[in-house]
A and B are shown apart, each in its own frame.
Chain A
Amino acid sequence: MCARFHNLRSTAGQPLEYIPTTCPYCSCGCGLLVHHDGEHLLSAHPSSIHPVARGGLCVRGWNCVGATAASDRLCACLTGRGADRQVAPWWKAVEKISNALTSAPRGEILFVLGASLALEDALAAVRLAEFLDATVAASLPSGVPPAREALRAVLGRSYGAASPEVLREADVLWVFGADLHMYPQLASRVSQAARAGAEVVAFDVVSAGAAATSIRHVTVPPNNLRVVPLLLESAAFLADRFPPAVTQAPGFARLAALWRRGRGPVLPDHPWLPDDQAAGLVERVLQAERPAAVVGERWLTAGNAAEQTKELLQCLALLGFADRICFAAGDANSWGVADLLEDHAEEAEHLAAFLGGCTSFSVVVLVEEDILRRTPRPAAVEARLREAHTVVLLDRFQTATLPWATVALPTLAFGELDGTLTSAFGLVQHWRAIVRPPPAARPVRVWLSRIGRRVGMETGPSLGTGQDWFRRVTLAAPAYAGLERQASRLVLGRVAQEQGGMTFTEPATRLADAAPPAPGRSGRFPLQLMLSGQAASWSTGSLSDREDLLAREAVHTVVRLAAEDLAGIGGAPGRTALIRVVTPHAEAFAVPKVEPGMPPGVVLLAARPGDGARALQGFYPDPPALGVQPVPARLELP
């Protein structure tokens, strides 16, 4: 059914040819060169001229060939569920899907798009969903939608800085909720800036833990949502020193007046950042020539993220960061998929309601989205999928969601797919087809075109080449207008952005009522636990299997903590191999790792809101809390 399709092959004696393509992992979109023999991907190494990679790759990129040579490829069309599952000819599978789509009541169809889909495939899914009057939403758990919403509202554009180099060149660098372990290209630039003398300030424990020794001035509040109103208040005294571009922006005068009125001892319990220190931080930013900032997933996935991020961006814009804000957020094509779903942004709420059990759909089409691996509440999602009449899964792998699919269609993996993507820097890049896919696998756009024909959709003169589909992308999404897809080019260009000016509005969050206080320390749970990223820590170079990669994204390995907290339970660095982390809702075993940047009383458990969340069931009762809210916890020796 789904035999081992391919594995790493010896590179000795193979024909030598390298193809430039783009890393399939995070939103940095590093350019790399893949060595292949025509049938197999053999190895990968970074492009030395790619504007983001610049000769460097993180461990995922270096090993991406091994990780995609997976033993769990989906290699056949499947119909049925459980004991009824069988391999089916593609036309029968497609017919079953089209019958389900045409017979579903209006408004009862949900399309969920993955964040690593090629732009062309995402557009095909959006078009089919529109034709069927279906709900279409992307699974973008990494905070890209709130980032875009805030960018639009404050800066009038959809992307942050055009290059990570702004971080390297910064003289003051602020980091908010950025799990830099997961974005080494950004982490390295932050380190370089620190070494060059920049003042790097981490405003939360996650960011600080990720780059402890390269940060000169670390501020570690347990709850970073309170930072923005504090900084805004501190900035009030300096309002007359903001640059003209800021003071002339719409809304500035009203905002400034508001600060002056509201100034007072409104945050008395913030020993982590006294008023004078906050004012000092602001002062130094105003003196800086190239202030830059990183805003990461931890901030962007917090509760009320869009509003919080908007206030954060207002604060950063006021202080002169506007053109140098990088976002550490998203999978490979999160930003591009969000571009294509611009007109469907509100439908994300339907997906959230579906996952939350508030609504149901008769037909659910999962397009390269392993929804069960991402969710922190798999039981609830399984219940939703069980209730659906038809669950269609288009995927490259036998994912965690596959058992719930009633029809599954195999699609193309990295190295097989010809498509484009957009990085967090707005660079439109190429994924090249280098090797042949499994015989039954097809691009998503081909499957969806076949389905579309059966449900009466006009798909154009043919199923379409990548070139055709990219042309459709340029017509469908204004940001891509004018871009051309040239086979020889890896970077096709940068998305066009409206050059909107800054706009300031009254903050919704005001000082004393900014955020709930941090959980108090009780006798049973004296510590504050937060989730942090797991540094991609490869065991050996022998990665050959996607399962290896998934296992390393899981979260049971490391808890970072201060030496005092380890000593407090009778442990010692190097001698205590394992400790138990206990919260009111859950417990887990972890390897303790003492880190110099960690404040006493706060522990970080390695995790990621998406991929690793399943293993953390119970640690967080509610998905929005996956971000920056600490949870009371205690440590025990096993």
Chain B
Amino acid sequence: MNRLRLDKPLVPAFLDRLRGDYRVIGPRLVGEGDIVYEEIPPGATVAWNFTNSLLPPKALFFPRVEELFTLDYGDPRGPTLVPAAPERPLAVFGMRSCDATGLLFLERFFGERGFDDPTVTSRVRDSLRMTLACTVPGPDCFCVCCDAGPFLTAGFDLQFVDLGERLLVEVGSERGLTVARRAGDLLVDAGPEELRELDELAAQVDGRFQRRSYLSRGTKLLSLDRLPAEAWESWGAECQGCGGCCFVCPTCSCFTVRDIPLPKNAAGCSGQGQYSVRRERIWDACLYEGFTREASGHNPREQAGDRLKRRFFHKLSLQCSEIMGRHGCVGCGRCVQTCMGALDISTLMERTDAYD
């Protein structure tokens, strides 16, 4: 039961069968053509002909703003920690291969380095990841250079391949197998025709990538610190400091925390004490000036070029790859699209040519 077939018109019914156990999320078209990952209403279908969403599904697992806990000072014996409300696990349909790879990176960042932050890791580990392999890569995509697609061999529960009116379904985990069994008659064994089409697609798709990324050269130059300060200064001057590259990157995890004082009787507080505090975690960006500013006011990375250097070192250096098990780029191409200064990974690696 490793390779199955699902007819596209049956996808809403397939997703409906997951609703008992999961919140079902999938790609949807909003406005005049933007793709976002939204909750799929019962019976509704998903978007098919898209490259990718600008905001990665990372936002589902590592939300932009997240309540970590509330400290309730209502008890005279001392403050009580009120954990955030439990959530239903997510079933994400149509996630691209690069994003699924990015989730593995996030899971390792938050959970496999001597500590475990269950807010993120439990969402990732409890989720049902149904990826949609890319058969037509977008103009900014280069996952093929990053060991992150267009087809996955691991890191998914179910991998779907669009064959027109049919989807070929590959099972990648025990959870995926359970779901496939529960889907019953909706999923049938793939025939030789589908398997042949899959092989043909897999052979063709690599050649359809328009963008290349010189990651190896960049990794060498970054790891050996061979890019001169003037280069970073020059590139830093082009950085608009928007933080967009960090926000759209499937592997970026910069965050900050803050404590919000709550009035009495606020949700989650007994209301007896003087005050209560909600601790929130929100996305931050290492390209923002204050990200590394110290309490004294000193900022070791005050210049944009220094911040840029740090970002790329964390993304691509061998030192960081050794810690994280891989480099921090999955080739989704989102930074190519969102960066206003041509300082995305792909373009910057090209620009390192002058220093090699």
Q: CB < 8 Å: which of B25, B33, B64, B284 contacts A43?
A: B64
* A396 beta carbon closer than 8 Å to chain B: no
Q: Return chain A residues, CB-CB under 8 Å to B240.
A: 58-59, 184, 187-188, 535
Known: A48-B34, A188-B340. A540 touches B256 (CB 8 A): yes
- When distances are taken between beta carbons in the complex, the residues of chain B under 8 Å from A49 are 31-34
Q: Which of B84, B280, B290 contacts A539 (CB 8 A)?
A: B290
Q: Smallest Cβ distance from A210 to chain B, in angstroms?
A: 9
Chain A residues contacting B341 (CB-CB under 8 Å) are 188, 191
The B64-90 residues at the A interface (CB cut-off 8 A) are 64-67, 84-85, 87-88
User: Closest residue to B85 on the A side, CB-wise?
Assistant: A13
- Structural contact, B290 and A59, CB atoms closer than 8 A: no
Instruction: Give complex CA distance A15, B54 in Å.
Output: 19
Given contact pairs A12-B87, A20-B31, A191-B342, A56 touches B233 in the complex (Cβ within 8 A):
no
Query: Taking A11-B65, A12-B63, A56-B340 as contacts, is the C-beta distance between A540 and B238 under 8 angstroms?
Result: no
CA distance in complex: A301, B119 (Å): 51
Chain A residue at minimal CB-CB distance from B40 = A16
- In angstroms, Cα B33 to Cα A488, docked, is 11
Q: Indicate which residue in A489, A491, A539 contacts B289 across the interface (CB closer than 8 Å).
A: A539
In angstroms, Cα B234 to Cα A20, docked, is 35
Shortest C-beta distance, B236 to chain A (Å), equals: 9
A49 to B338, CA, bound (A): 11
Known: A213-B237, A535-B241, A540-B288. A491 touches B66 (CB 8 A): no
Q: How far is the CA of A541 from the CA of B291 in the complex (A)?
A: 8
Answer whether residue B30 sits at the interface, using C-beta atoms and an 8 A cutoff: yes
The answer to whether A62 has its CB under 8 Å from any CB of chain B is yes
Q: Which of B37, B244, B254, B291 is within 8 Å of A56, CB to CB?
A: B244
| Chain B residues within 8 Å of A58, by CB | 240, 242, 340
Report whether B291 and A540 are in contact in the complex, using a CB–CB cutoff of 8 Å: yes
The smallest C-beta distance from B26 to any residue of chain A, in angstroms, reads: 10
User: Which chain B residue lies CB-closest to A17?
Assistant: B38
Given A12-B87, A13-B85, A56-B339, the answer on whether A42 and B64 have CB atoms closer than 8 Å is yes
**Measured CA separation A36–B291 after assembly (Å):** 26
Complex contact B293–A16 (CB within 8 A)? no
Chain B, interface size category, equals 35 or more
- Inter-chain contacts of B60 with A (CB < 8 A): 16
Among A2-10, A130-138, A412-420, A450-458, the one that faces the other chain is: A2-10
Q: How far is the CB of A578 from chain B (nearest CB, A)?
A: 10
Contact A59 B340 (CB under 8 A): no
Q: Which of A1-42 contact B (CB under 8 A)?
A: 7-13, 15-20, 31, 33, 35, 42
Is the Cβ of A45 less than 8 Å from the Cβ of B291? no
Q: Which of B17-75 contact A (CB under 8 A)?
A: 25, 30-39, 54-55, 59-60, 63-67
Q: What's the Cα separation between A46 and B35 when bound, in Å?
A: 11
Q: How long is the Cα–Cα vector from A551 to B33 in the complex, in angstroms?
A: 36
- Cα–Cα distance between A54 and B140 once the two chains are bound (Å): 13
Which residues of the partner chain B approach A45 to less than 8 Å between Cβ atoms?
Answer: 54-55, 247-248
On whether the beta carbons of B84 and A541 are closer than 8 Å, the reply is no
Chain B CB within 8 A of A588 CB: no
- Report A-chain residues with C-beta under 8 Å of the C-beta of B39: 15-17
Given known pairs A56-B338, A213-B238, the reply for A541 and B31 (CB within 8 Å) is: no
One digit per residue, 1 when the CB lies within 8 angstroms of any chain A CB and 0 when it does not, for chain B 266-310 equals 000000000000001011110011110100000000000000000
Say if the beta carbon of A490 comes within 8 Å of chain B: yes
Q: Which residue of B lies closest to A7 (CB)?
A: B260
* Contacting residues, chain A, for B293 (C-beta < 8 A): 539
Report the bound CA distance from A12 to B67 in whole Å: 8
Q: Does any Cβ of A come within 8 Å of B258's Cβ?
A: yes
In the assembled complex, B337 has its CB within 8 A of some CB on chain A? yes
- Whether, in the assembled complex, B155 has its beta carbon less than 8 Å from a beta carbon of chain A, the answer is no
State whether the Cβ of A399 lies closer than 8 Å to any Cβ in chain B: no
- Measured CA separation A57–B337 after assembly (Å): 11
Contact among B31, B35, B65 for A42, CB-based, below 8 A = B65
Asked if A536 is at the interface of the complex by the 8 Å CB criterion, the answer is: yes
Q: In the bound complex, do residue B54 and residue A46 qualify as a contact, i.e. CB atoms below 8 Å apart?
A: yes
Instruction: Judge whether B241 and A538 touch: CB under 8 Å.
Output: yes
Interface: A214 (CB within 8 A): yes
Q: Is B243 an interface residue (CB 8 A)?
A: yes
In the complex formed, the residue of B with least CB distance to A489 is: B32
Contact, CB under 8 Å: B342 / A11: no
Residue A158 is within 8 A (CB to CB) of chain B in the complex: no
Q: In the complex, which residue of chain B has the Cβ closest to the Cβ of A49?
A: B33
Hey, which chain A residues are within 8 Å of B54, CB to CB?
45-48, 55
Residue ID in chain A nearest B230 by CB atoms: A596
Kindly provide the distance from the CB of B305 to the nearest chain A CB, expressed in whole angstroms.
10
In the assembly, what is the distance between CA of A187 and CA of B233, in Å? Answer: 17
Contact present for A195 and B342 (CB under 8 Å): yes
A residues less than 8 Å from B88 (CB atoms): 13
Chain A minimum-CB-distance residue to B52 = A48
Complex: A214 Cα to B39 Cα, angstroms = 43
Q: Is A192 an interface residue (CB 8 A)?
A: yes
Asked whether any CB of chain B lies closer than 8 Å to the CB of A304, the reply is no
User: How far, in angstroms, from A630 to B338 measured CA to CA in the complex?
Assistant: 36
* Chain B residues whose C-beta falls within 8 Å of the C-beta of A596 in the assembled complex: 233, 237
A164-188 at interface with B (beta carbon < 8 Å):
184-185, 187-188
Which one of B37, B340, B342 has the highest number of Cβ atoms from chain A below 10 Å of its Cβ? Answer: B340
Q: Are B241 and A43 in contact (CB-based, < 8 A)?
A: no
Contact at A541–B34, with CB atoms within 8 Å? no
Check A43/B65 contact, CB under 8 A, given A56-B338, A187-B340: yes
- Cα separation A491 to B230 with both chains bound (whole Å): 42
| B290 and A538 form a contact (CB under 8 A) | yes
Q: Which of B25, B87, B339, B342 contacts A16 (CB 8 A)?
A: B25
Q: In the complex, what's the smallest C-beta–C-beta distance from B352 to chain A, in angstroms?
A: 15
| B339 CB, nearest partner CB in chain A, Å | 7
Question: Can you name 15 A-B residue pairings with CB atoms under 8 Å?
Answer: A10-B65, A12-B84, A12-B119, A16-B25, A16-B36, A20-B34, A49-B34, A56-B242, A185-B340, A213-B234, A489-B32, A535-B240, A539-B293, A541-B256, A541-B283
Interface of B toward A, CB cutoff 8 Å: 25, 30-39, 54-55, 59-60, 63-67, 84-85, 87-88, 119, 233-234, 237-238, 240-244, 247-248, 254-256, 258, 260, 280, 282-285, 288-291, 293, 337-342
A7-B260, A10-B66, A11-B65 given. 6 additional CB < 8 A pairs?
Answer: A11-B59, A12-B119, A49-B34, A57-B338, A488-B31, A596-B237
